[in-house]
Amino acid sequence: MITFFSDQQALHRDVKEVLSGELVPSFEVAQRTDIVLKAIEVRGLGPVMMPMHFDSDVVLGVHDPDYVTFLRTAWDEWQSTFPGTTQAMPYCFPVRGFRSVCPAHIEGRLGYYSSDLTAAIMAGTWKAVWASVECALSGQQQIVAGEKSVFSLCRPPGHHDGRDQMGGYCYLNNAAIAAQAYRDSGCQRVAILDVDYHHGNGTQSIFYDRADVLFTSIHADPAWDYPHYLGYQDEIGAGDGKGVNLNLPLPLNSTWADYEPALLAALERIARFRPDVLVVSLGLDSYEHDPISSFKLDAEKYTFMGQRIAELGLPTQFVFEGGYAVDALGTNTVNVLEGFQQH
C-alpha cells in the first residue's frame, strides 16, 4: 500500500490549546506522524511517497474561498498586528444572539472562522495544512488510476473542519476534499466511514444535504464528549441528503463488544449505498490508552477493523485523522492497514 506524506507537515508544531480551562501543549503533535512512518517502514507496508502539488482552487468544492484565503494569510496579518507572538488564537465567537458577520480585525475573523480553542495558527501552519491536503489529493489520484487502496498520512487532521470553520486540530477537511475530488473525476457515489473517537462534524456538515456522498460515523456520544453539538443519531441528512447520513454514537467506555456491531451496521449501510469508492477517516483515538478518549479498543482490534472494512471489496482511501497515544499510534495505524491488505 502506498503512503503519501510530506516533511512540510511538521512545520505546524509546538502548538498550545485550551483544555480544562488551562493553556497546555496540544495533544496533536508532529511526532504522531513520525511514529506512524517508523511502523510503516519496520513492518514493510509499502513505499512512502511525496505528494503531488495542487493549486488551492481544488478545495473550493467543499471550502469557502474567503476562508481558504484567510487561512493562507492569517499568520502574516496576525504578526503585523501582534508582532513577536508565537501563535494566533481567538478569544470571542459569534455565538447565539450575535450576528454572523465576518469582522475586519484579525482577532474577530479568527473567532468567526473558529469553533473552539484547539486550532491555533502559527508561522508554519498554512504550509503544513496544504501539504496535508496534497497527501489526500495524491491518494485520490492513485485510486482513480487503479490502485485498490492507499494511505494518506494527513497531518493536521481534517474531519472537524466545515466549509468555513476550523476546530478540533483541523483546518481543511482532507477526507471531504478527497471525496469531492472523486465526484469531480466521475465517481457517481462516494461513501465516507469515520472511525475516529470524535464525531466528524465538519465532514457531516459539508455533505449533509447531498445524496451523492454517504457519511457514516462511529463515535463517542456527543452528549458527553467533543464536539457536543453534532453527532446525534437523529441527524440523518436534509433535503436531497435525507437518509444519507448515519451517526452511530456509543456510550463512554465502550469496548469492542459495543464497537463491532456499530462498525458492521455502518458497513452494511455503505454496502447498500453501492458507492464507487470508500474514504475512511482513520482516527485511532478509540484506543484504550488514548489520553483524550474513553473507548477501550486494544491494538489487536484494529486488525479486525481493517479486515471488516476490506470485506466491502471497494477501492479504499485511508485518510489519517486523530489518535494521541503516540507510543502506540504506529502499531494501531498499521494494524488497520495490514488487516485490510491481508483480507
Distance CA 223, CA 153 (A): 30
Smallest CA-to-CA distance from 223 within 245, 199, 192, 259 is with 199
Q: Is 105 a catalytic residue?
A: no
Distance CA 86, CA 108 (A): 18
Smallest CA-to-CA distance from 194 within 286, 257, 296 is with 286
* C-alpha torsion 166→328→249→262, nearest 10: 130
Distance CA 194, CA 160 (A): 11
Smallest CA-to-CA distance from 246 within 257, 258, 237 is with 237
Alpha helices in 274-342 (DSSP H): 299-310, 326-342
Phi first, then psi, for residue 290 (nearest 5°) are -65, 140
Distance CA 83, CA 74 (A): 13
Pick left, alpha or beta for residue 239 (phi over 0 → left; psi -120 to 50 → alpha; otherwise beta).
left
Cβ distance 139 to 245 under 8 Å?
A: no
Cβ distance 128 to 9 under 8 Å?
A: yes
User: Which residue in the list 12, 63, 159, 160 is annotated as catalytic?
Assistant: 160
Cα-only R_g, the chain: 19
Task: Provide the total of helices (H) and of strands (E) in the chain, helices listed first.
Answer: 9, 10
C-alpha cell at 310: 476490506
Active site residues: 160
